[in-house]
Chain A
Amino acid sequence: MTLFWILLMPLFGCLMALAARQWSRSYQALVVALFPALALALLVPLIPDVLAGEVIRYGFAWLPLLGLNFSLQLDGLSLLFTLLILGIGLLVILYARYYLSTRDSMPRFYAFLLLFMLAMLGIVLSGNLLQMWFFWELTSISSFLLISYWSHQPDARKGARMALTVTAAGGLALLAGILLIGQILGSYELSEILPQTAKLQQHAAYPVVLLLVLLGAFTKSAQFPFHFWLPNAMAAPTPVSAYLHSATMVKAGIFLLARLYPLLSGTDLWFLTVTLTGLSTLLVGAYFALFQHDIKGLLAYSTISHLGLITLLLGLDTDLAAVAAIFHIINHAIFKASLFMTAGIIDHETGSRDMRKINGLWGFMPVTATLAMVASASMAGVPLLNGFLSKEMFFTQTIHQGVLGSLSWLIPVLATVAAIFAVAYSARFIHDVFFNGQPIGLTKTPHEPPRYMRVPMEILVALCVLVGVFPELMIGSLLQQAAVAVLAAPPPAYSLAIWHGLNVPLLMSVVALIGGILLYINRKALFMFQAGFNETKAIYRFEAFIQRLVRRCRNSIEQIENGSFQRYILLLLLALLALAGAPLLELQQLRGQRAALPFDGLVIVGAILLIVAAVATVMVVRQRLLALVMISVVGLMVSLAFVRFSAPDLALTQLSVEVVTVVLLMLALYFLPHKSVKQSSSGHLVRDFTLASAIGVVVGSLAYAMMTNDSASISSYFLQNAKSGGGGTNVVNVILVDFRGFDTLGEITVLGIAALGILKLLTGIPRFMASADGEGRLWSKDRHPLLLAVISQALLPLALIVSVYIFFRGHNLPGGGFVAGLITAVAMILQYVAKGVDWVKPRLKVEYSTLIAIGILLATVTGLASWLFDRPFLTSWFDYFDVPLIGQIELASAIAFDLGVYFTVVGASLLILANLGKITTRYRPVHKEPS
């Protein structure tokens, strides 16, 4: 439970930082620092137990279905990291109080910083791999926020994005690796998977697991060739660099390697990959560090190099190498953090980080200079400082390994070469900054920083010395327990002493020191050599890469999605052809069991009419009015087909819909060009024709197979129950208003919505008036031909009585609310055609949209009425009544429902057509009659 609270402290701190935004800067820092301090205080009582070899655990199930438990564990390794994170974190908080200027938002900075601290603590305290990944990604995010803190600087933005991209890519690989481990070993709990080394390493997927995990670790720890993001992350405020890029985040990758050391190491693949990566990183980092003019750049490359060193150690095949690695983690964190702080102070005091400008600071800030010199000496591996000790162990292990077989001797040699460069860049840092003449062109006169800004440095440098002199006392047991955790066994004996006698490692150290100083003295030639390479900054290359990526993506998207509907529909049709046609090819015989009907001459005539009219429609499609007339023939013939094959209801509906559609299309035609130019190439036509024919064949064949197929259907139920259960003899109508009344409710809703949508489309449409038809003829001046006007008026009551008739007979004979509604609508349209909107509109007392609403409500409420009788929605009711003088009449809920249908249909049809008619301007241009 304590562990839980320790983890939570930074989160509270983060929230506190945001809450305390009104306070003075010092109070802000203080209140923020309080939480890591509390965490440390909570941690201290646990230390003795951990140092005694105990592993403290805490956890509960979180998302057990994922295998993601909230699981914390504190062992030697996590203790070491926790101490680093909290300790250095506290120092950085204090340091940042002075570093940040008044223009910078302090709450934001501290919030991000503590968020990062939380994430980092989460990684090191995790007892569950997925949970570790959770915090791992959080570090990427929070570091992105911290690097981009000065978002007005392009370099900061780009650097942050690059860091995030690289580490997140690694994070994704790591996730895959972790998931694979989980799938192979059946758990993500460290306590359960770490003992299963053999099972994992014998699994076929082990190399994949290893590579994925290593990708995660290497990207995070800036290993070659993924190292490039780190120098560009230096755009972050220096406290961030001191914290993230020296002590903590970059160590997360190393931590991961150490954490999974028992599970993954021990194979040749591990040795080779990790060693070679570490070695190359060590060399690359050390080499490039020397040529940096930016102090932080030098430190960044140096960090890369040291991270390579630690990785190399973890890759070596001796157990003590792992101990050395842990030891160097501590040492590097201490001296590198203090060096970054130095860089920050120099930046703060001089306004520059360019070593070509900054010279002779010894004269301005001797105390800082002294501290920095001690720290860089540690970095160079000078005896009596902590850096020396771990470097000695490192040299020792390079000699005792056999990773590269007969070429293993290369490792100590290259290690020495790297050490020479390390000494050289350390020397450069000291000489070039603190000596080497006078500053050049600085904007302000440097002096010692504020008192408390230096305190963190002082503490760290003191630690360098103390560890360097009294290693066993300072960190002996901690190192021991950390090693136990990494090796999953007590490490072999080793001694933490300053003096191990005259041996090869000492010789290597001496060579490095002397060689490094010589190299620095003769640096001119090397600088000239390096200047010959025209390198571009990684962020520019990264930016260019991203630009290229974006361009390439854009090109491919534009090629695929070219905005052409014809392509889209073509693909859809091809898919249809494939999906519906393929099973047909397998079909042995299209014809089914059902007996066929004989055909007669009349049907052939009908088919000819239909086919010819359809084909003609296609052929004259560019003469639009003609095409419209042709398609009316098709519609008429389809209606007649419905009559012929005993579907009178369908015929009625098709006929009435047909006329409304024609009127609608004609209205459309007025607003669209009356003719269209021929544009298709014959190639396209052939393609389209082939596709259309193929689909026609497929659909026709399916229709044939379907018609001749003999299957039992649920229809007999409807025939049996229409009269007794639905109260009507027209089964089709009973299905519509009763058995499947819910469909009908949906259907009229569709119609109503369509009308609303159309009204919406028509509002605000530019008013339109074409002065002549497609042939350029002026329009006739007779707006409302007399005969039409008179006869239309006479037809209205006739049509209404017909629609009443059709409505009422629907339940028992063909007809119903829908057809009745359309007849009413058509009769009204005729009034519009004959007399115009201006005449009709004032005579109508009801809004069409209200009519739609009433219709839908009527149908719905009819359905709801059945609730009163505790029946489901739309349960129908009907009964027969004897009325004196009149006789028996039937009353049915279906009539009310159908009335709803009627109103909706009338409202919707008229809403559509009348409003479409309104969009023309009332007055047409006066034209001269051609004489």
Chain B
Amino acid sequence: MSGIEWLIAALVLIGAVFVLLGSVALVKLPDFYTRLHGPTKATTLGLGSLVLASMVFFNFVQNELSLQQLLIALFLFITAPVTAYMLIKAGMHQKVTAIEVTKNQHLMQASGKKPAP
């Protein structure tokens, strides 16, 4: 295995591990609001690393110009915050409970109202 290939292997493994960790977090974390942070990790680091691996692989191992993968990353970066926003909105709307230690829980009810400063 050449150095490039080792690089690719490392990036792939890092990416896969982060993706897995995101999923583990989803199972492990105690409430909806904390779980929501899990997939963000998978998106950002895991997929970023995999996209990089893929690009390196095609450009340097396969020797074909391939930058498409960037688009996937771009797409996810644009959409992930919206997804999270909509999910948490839905969660607060459905009054999904947060774990007790959560601070400022009253703010969840603030939706739609001008909050008291």
Q: Which residues of A contact B (CB under 8 A)?
A: 775, 777, 780-782, 785, 787-788, 791, 794-795, 798, 929
Q: Is the CB of B93 within 8 A of A791?
A: no
Contact with A along B50-83 (1 / 0, CB 8 A): 0000000000000000000000000100110110
Nearest CB of chain A from residue B48's CB, rounded to whole Å: 19
Nearest CB of chain A from residue B113's CB, rounded to whole Å: 8
Residue B27 lies at the interface, judged by CB distance under 8 Å to chain A = no
Q: Is the CB of A788 within 8 A of B94?
A: no
Q: Is the CB of B78 within 8 A of A787?
A: no
Residue B89 lies at the interface, judged by CB distance under 8 Å to chain A = yes
Q: Is the CB of A788 within 8 A of B78?
A: no
Q: Is the CB of A788 within 8 A of B85?
A: yes
Q: Is the CB of A777 within 8 A of B94?
A: yes
Q: Is the CB of B85 within 8 A of A785?
A: yes
Residues of A contacting B82 in the complex (Cβ-Cβ under 8 angstroms): 787-788, 791
Residues of B contacting A794 in the complex (Cβ-Cβ under 8 angstroms): 78
Q: Is the CB of A795 within 8 A of B85?
A: no
Residue B112 lies at the interface, judged by CB distance under 8 Å to chain A = yes
Residues of B contacting A795 in the complex (Cβ-Cβ under 8 angstroms): 78-79
Residue B111 lies at the interface, judged by CB distance under 8 Å to chain A = yes
Nearest CB of chain A from residue B62's CB, rounded to whole Å: 16
Nearest CB of chain B from residue A787's CB, rounded to whole Å: 5
Measured in the bound complex, the distance between the Cα atoms of B90 and A780 in whole Å is: 9
Q: Is the CB of A787 within 8 A of B93?
A: no
Residues of A contacting B79 in the complex (Cβ-Cβ under 8 angstroms): 791, 795
| Those of B67-117 within 8 Å (CB) of chain A | 75, 78-79, 81-82, 85-86, 89, 93-95, 111-113
Measured in the bound complex, the distance between the Cα atoms of B113 and A781 in whole Å is: 10
With a 10 A CB-CB cut-off, give which of B82, B85, B86, B94 has the most chain A CB atoms: B82
Measured in the bound complex, the distance between the Cα atoms of B111 and A794 in whole Å is: 25
Residues of A contacting B89 in the complex (Cβ-Cβ under 8 angstroms): 780, 782, 785
A780-B93, A794-B78, A795-B78 given; A788·B112 CB < 8 A: no
Measured in the bound complex, the distance between the Cα atoms of B113 and A926 in whole Å is: 15
Measured in the bound complex, the distance between the Cα atoms of B39 and A642 in whole Å is: 25
Residues of A contacting B75 in the complex (Cβ-Cβ under 8 angstroms): 798
Q: Is the CB of B86 within 8 A of A788?
A: yes
Which of B85, B94, B112 is the one whose CB lies under 8 Å from A781?
Answer: B112
Residues of B contacting A929 in the complex (Cβ-Cβ under 8 angstroms): 112-113
Residues of B contacting A785 in the complex (Cβ-Cβ under 8 angstroms): 85-86, 89
Closest to A773 in B: B94
Q: Is the CB of A782 within 8 A of B112?
A: yes
A-B contact pairs, 28 of them (CB 8 A): A775-B94, A777-B93, A777-B94, A777-B95, A780-B89, A780-B93, A780-B111, A780-B112, A782-B111, A782-B112, A785-B85, A785-B86, A785-B89, A787-B81, A787-B82, A787-B85, A787-B86, A788-B85, A788-B86, A791-B78, A791-B79, A791-B81, A791-B82, A794-B78, A795-B78, A798-B75, A929-B112, A929-B113
Residues of A contacting B81 in the complex (Cβ-Cβ under 8 angstroms): 787, 791
Measured in the bound complex, the distance between the Cα atoms of B94 and A775 in whole Å is: 9
Measured in the bound complex, the distance between the Cα atoms of B93 and A929 in whole Å is: 12
Q: Which residues of B contact A (CB under 8 A)?
A: 75, 78-79, 81-82, 85-86, 89, 93-95, 111-113
Nearest CB of chain A from residue B107's CB, rounded to whole Å: 15
Contacts A781-B112, A787-B85 known; 19 new A-B pairs at CB < 8 A:
A775-B94, A777-B93, A777-B94, A777-B95, A780-B89, A780-B93, A780-B111, A782-B89, A782-B111, A782-B112, A787-B81, A787-B82, A787-B86, A788-B82, A788-B85, A788-B86, A791-B79, A791-B82, A795-B78
Measured in the bound complex, the distance between the Cα atoms of B94 and A795 in whole Å is: 28
Measured in the bound complex, the distance between the Cα atoms of B113 and A929 in whole Å is: 10
Measured in the bound complex, the distance between the Cα atoms of B113 and A798 in whole Å is: 35
Nearest CB of chain A from residue B11's CB, rounded to whole Å: 20
Nearest CB of chain B from residue A654's CB, rounded to whole Å: 19
Residues of A contacting B86 in the complex (Cβ-Cβ under 8 angstroms): 785, 787-788
Q: Which 9 A-B pairs have the closest CB atoms?
A: A791-B82, A787-B85, A780-B93, A781-B112, A787-B82, A788-B82, A791-B78, A788-B86, A785-B89
Closest to B81 in A: A787
Nearest CB of chain B from residue A662's CB, rounded to whole Å: 15
Residues of A contacting B95 in the complex (Cβ-Cβ under 8 angstroms): 777
Residues of B contacting A788 in the complex (Cβ-Cβ under 8 angstroms): 82, 85-86
Measured in the bound complex, the distance between the Cα atoms of B111 and A785 in whole Å is: 12
Measured in the bound complex, the distance between the Cα atoms of B92 and A781 in whole Å is: 13
Nearest CB of chain B from residue A616's CB, rounded to whole Å: 17
Residues of B contacting A782 in the complex (Cβ-Cβ under 8 angstroms): 89, 111-112
Nearest CB of chain B from residue A628's CB, rounded to whole Å: 14
Nearest CB of chain A from residue B34's CB, rounded to whole Å: 21
Nearest CB of chain B from residue A776's CB, rounded to whole Å: 12
Closest to A790 in B: B82
Residues of B contacting A787 in the complex (Cβ-Cβ under 8 angstroms): 81-82, 85-86
Measured in the bound complex, the distance between the Cα atoms of B81 and A929 in whole Å is: 28
Residues of B contacting A775 in the complex (Cβ-Cβ under 8 angstroms): 94
Residues of B contacting A777 in the complex (Cβ-Cβ under 8 angstroms): 93-95
Nearest CB of chain A from residue B14's CB, rounded to whole Å: 20
Nearest CB of chain A from residue B88's CB, rounded to whole Å: 11
Measured in the bound complex, the distance between the Cα atoms of B89 and A780 in whole Å is: 9
Closest to B82 in A: A791
Nearest CB of chain A from residue B112's CB, rounded to whole Å: 5
Measured in the bound complex, the distance between the Cα atoms of B98 and A519 in whole Å is: 111
Nearest CB of chain B from residue A355's CB, rounded to whole Å: 92
Closest to A930 in B: B109
Closest to B75 in A: A798
Nearest CB of chain A from residue B5's CB, rounded to whole Å: 21
Nearest CB of chain B from residue A930's CB, rounded to whole Å: 9
Measured in the bound complex, the distance between the Cα atoms of B112 and A785 in whole Å is: 11
Residues of A contacting B85 in the complex (Cβ-Cβ under 8 angstroms): 785, 787-788
Closest to A834 in B: B82
Nearest CB of chain B from residue A772's CB, rounded to whole Å: 12
Measured in the bound complex, the distance between the Cα atoms of B112 and A498 in whole Å is: 120
Measured in the bound complex, the distance between the Cα atoms of B75 and A791 in whole Å is: 11
Measured in the bound complex, the distance between the Cα atoms of B113 and A352 in whole Å is: 95
Nearest CB of chain B from residue A242's CB, rounded to whole Å: 90
Closest to A792 in B: B82
Measured in the bound complex, the distance between the Cα atoms of B78 and A787 in whole Å is: 11
Measured in the bound complex, the distance between the Cα atoms of B82 and A780 in whole Å is: 17
Measured in the bound complex, the distance between the Cα atoms of B93 and A777 in whole Å is: 9
Nearest CB of chain B from residue A754's CB, rounded to whole Å: 30
Nearest CB of chain A from residue B91's CB, rounded to whole Å: 12
Nearest CB of chain A from residue B102's CB, rounded to whole Å: 21
Measured in the bound complex, the distance between the Cα atoms of B81 and A785 in whole Å is: 13
Measured in the bound complex, the distance between the Cα atoms of B79 and A791 in whole Å is: 8
Closest to A781 in B: B112
Closest to A802 in B: B71
Measured in the bound complex, the distance between the Cα atoms of B89 and A775 in whole Å is: 17
Closest to A777 in B: B94
Closest to B95 in A: A777
Residues of A contacting B94 in the complex (Cβ-Cβ under 8 angstroms): 775, 777
Closest to B74 in A: A798
Residues of A contacting B93 in the complex (Cβ-Cβ under 8 angstroms): 777, 780
Measured in the bound complex, the distance between the Cα atoms of B85 and A791 in whole Å is: 12
Residues of B contacting A798 in the complex (Cβ-Cβ under 8 angstroms): 75
Closest to B78 in A: A791
Measured in the bound complex, the distance between the Cα atoms of B112 and A791 in whole Å is: 21
Closest to A780 in B: B93
Nearest CB of chain B from residue A335's CB, rounded to whole Å: 98
Measured in the bound complex, the distance between the Cα atoms of B89 and A29 in whole Å is: 93
Closest to B89 in A: A785
Nearest CB of chain B from residue A79's CB, rounded to whole Å: 98
Measured in the bound complex, the distance between the Cα atoms of B79 and A794 in whole Å is: 10
Closest to A775 in B: B94
Residues of B contacting A781 in the complex (Cβ-Cβ under 8 angstroms): 112
Measured in the bound complex, the distance between the Cα atoms of B113 and A795 in whole Å is: 30
Measured in the bound complex, the distance between the Cα atoms of B32 and A97 in whole Å is: 98
Measured in the bound complex, the distance between the Cα atoms of B74 and A798 in whole Å is: 11
Closest to B84 in A: A787
Nearest CB of chain B from residue A830's CB, rounded to whole Å: 10
Measured in the bound complex, the distance between the Cα atoms of B92 and A297 in whole Å is: 91
Measured in the bound complex, the distance between the Cα atoms of B93 and A832 in whole Å is: 21
